[in-house]
A and B are shown apart, each in its own frame.
Chain A
Amino acid sequence: MTHRRIPYIILAPGLILLILFLVLPLVSIIFPTFFDGGFTFSNYTSFLKDEYNFSIFWRTLKISLIVTAICVIFGVPTAYYISQSPKKWRSLLMSLTLFPLLTNSVVRSFAWITLLGQDGIVNNGLMKIGLISEPLTLLYTEFAITIGSVYLFLPLMVITLVGILENIDSEIMEAAETLGANRVVAFAKVILPLSVPGIIVGSILVFTGTLTAYTTPQLLGGNRNMMLATFLYQNATALGNWQGASVIALIMIVTTVVVMKLFNWIANRLDKRGEARA
């Protein structure tokens, strides 16, 4: 019967488009990086052996990790506050969190240029109150990339967490307090473990987002503080080094996938621990 083929026929256009315009293009740029006379990993080993290249890879990992940690530290209490607010307040706070997220990332990075520049608002303010006599170099530093990325991804973390935290019964917290835990202990021992799934999902989004972001490092980092994405772009356009760009592309994809698997593995371990205790 032809009926059995119908599901595949309606899936086909999407599958074909994805294979033609996602898979094939990726294969076509990455395949050649493994051949140099014969099959070889040498493009990858020599890329990572180069001190300059490795420093960019390392900087990207480091900044992504710091940004993720900051987003967790600021995101969890904020999300908890939103999830415990009265319903009317909650939707207002959610809209306020969504708004930056839906605002263009160029706009959000530009805001930090006006704040952190030599003649920017932070420097001018600090000089006016006499804390510093010369403008500090804040823009085009790793600090600028970090704060810009936190600004970019903190709302994503909060939104992800609110969804999870809303389902935690507030009576659990009261029970913990009745049983003698003070609020901080109760938060650390009850709410935090229960929010682990949300923290993991949020961290994956923030980490991979920072790792692959292009706009913010380009605008706030400048050429001295390149990240993998900006380095890929520079290799492909300014240096005309297509091979190098393709090597970076695969490194970015592999790092993203490895990090996702790693975070999920950690989440599973933590979940099992929770089960064993319960």
Chain B
Amino acid sequence: MRKNVGLRIFACLVFAFLFIPLIIIVVTSFGTSSTIQFPIEGFTLDWYSKVFKNESFMNSFALSLKIALFATVLALLVGVPAAYSLARHNVFGRNWIKSFFLSPTIVPGLVVGYSLYQFVVIQFQFPIIQGLLLGHFLVCLPYVIRVVGSTIEQLDFSIEEVSWTLGCTKLQTFSKIVLPNITSGIFASFMLAFINSFNNIPVSQFLSGPGVTMLPTSLMNYIEYNYDPSVSALSVILMLGTIVLMFIIEKTLGLASIS
């Protein structure tokens, strides 16, 4: 194809639009002045050490990791068998059940958080942390159903039939044949669900209390009252985390598998 200069310039401008704001954050995180300035005067790493000394950031970071991990694992435990059943069995109302499993994506996150707070925390007096975990489980489940489901559909069913013919039980076939063959799908859905749970704000917005604040929420609260480069520094740390995750996904599966 001939090179189209106009199209190339257009695409370059779009990428500039996507990256200039992020680059500015990176630069401002090294500035010495106590408010955010661009271009910066001087160079310091103080804002980074401030982030690590900030207890609410560190506590909420630990909580975010834990919730994202537990919610993803729970979604996998529940979702992988469900995805298998939907892909392989002739279940009554299959399409309906499938869209039901994907329905948490249709309900706005803030509504999920609000209704869980009303129902689970206020009405049934569950601890907030359990509501939070359930909310994030709902965030994660659709990714598992969608990604693992399509991986199973791509797997040749006759291999399973051979395994049954050769004497394996259904459970043995699942653990020895199916599971090893869908690890890439499980891994991809794990990564997707984990990132989305970790970054999610709306679902957690109502489900927070003393000592129970997720990192994005605590960052958001901080921004409402402060305007200093420690927010930039934390942002850079989060971006580095994203780069590491993207690198892992690229090395193991290829990024194409998650888009």
Interface residues of A (CB under 8 A from B): 6-8, 10-11, 13-15, 17-18, 21-22, 24-26, 28-29, 74, 77-78, 80-82, 84, 91, 93-100, 102-108, 110-115, 117, 119, 121, 124, 151, 154-155, 158-159, 162-163, 170, 173-174, 183, 208, 211-215, 218-219, 229, 232-233, 236, 242, 245, 249, 252-253, 256-257, 260
Contact = CB atoms under 8 A, between A and B. Distances in A.
B119 A28 contact: yes
B21 to A, nearest CB: 4
A25 B82 contact: no
Given A14-B141, A21-B134, A170-B1, A102 B195 contact: yes
Contact of B7 (A13, A77, A163): A77
Contacts of B78: 13-14, 17
Interface in B61-112: 77-79, 81-82, 84-86, 88-91, 97, 100-101, 103-104, 106-112
Given A11-B85, A28-B123, A170-B1, 6 more contacts: A21-B138, A29-B114, A107-B25, A159-B259, A236-B206, A252-B110
Contacts of A218: 220
Given A25-B115, A81-B8, A110-B25, A233 B220 contact: no
A253 B106 CA distance: 7
Nearest to B91: A7
B4 interface: yes
24 contacts: A14-B78, A14-B81, A22-B138, A29-B114, A29-B119, A77-B7, A81-B11, A95-B255, A98-B259, A102-B195, A104-B199, A106-B220, A106-B223, A107-B22, A107-B219, A114-B25, A114-B36, A114-B38, A159-B259, A214-B202, A215-B201, A215-B202, A249-B110, A249-B115
Contacts of B202: 212-215, 229
B205 A11 contact: no
A18 B17 CA distance: 39
B246 A121 contact: no
B172 interface: no
Contact of A25 (B91, B116, B231): B116
A104 B238 contact: yes
A229 B88 CA distance: 39
Given A14-B78, A212-B108, A106 B25 contact: no
Nearest to A84: B1
A102 B119 contact: no
Interface string B214-246: 001001100100010001100100110011011
A10 B81 contact: yes
B24 A113 contact: no
A13 to B, nearest CB: 5
Interface in B1-33: 1, 4, 7-8, 10-11, 14-15, 17-19, 21-22, 24-25, 28
Contacts of A219: 220, 223
Decide if the interface of chain A is mainly helix, strand, loop or mixed. helix
A253 B11 CA distance: 35
B246 A112 contact: no
Contact of B106 (A102, A214, A249, A256): A256
B18 A100 contact: yes
Of B21, B77, B119, chain A has the most CB atoms within 10 Å of the CB of B21
A114 B24 CA distance: 9
Nearest to B192: A102
Closest 4 CB pairs of A and B: A212-B108, A25-B119, A111-B21, A7-B89
A22 B108 contact: no
A110 to B, nearest CB: 6
Contacts of A104: 198-199, 216, 219, 235, 238
Contacts of B17: 74, 151, 154
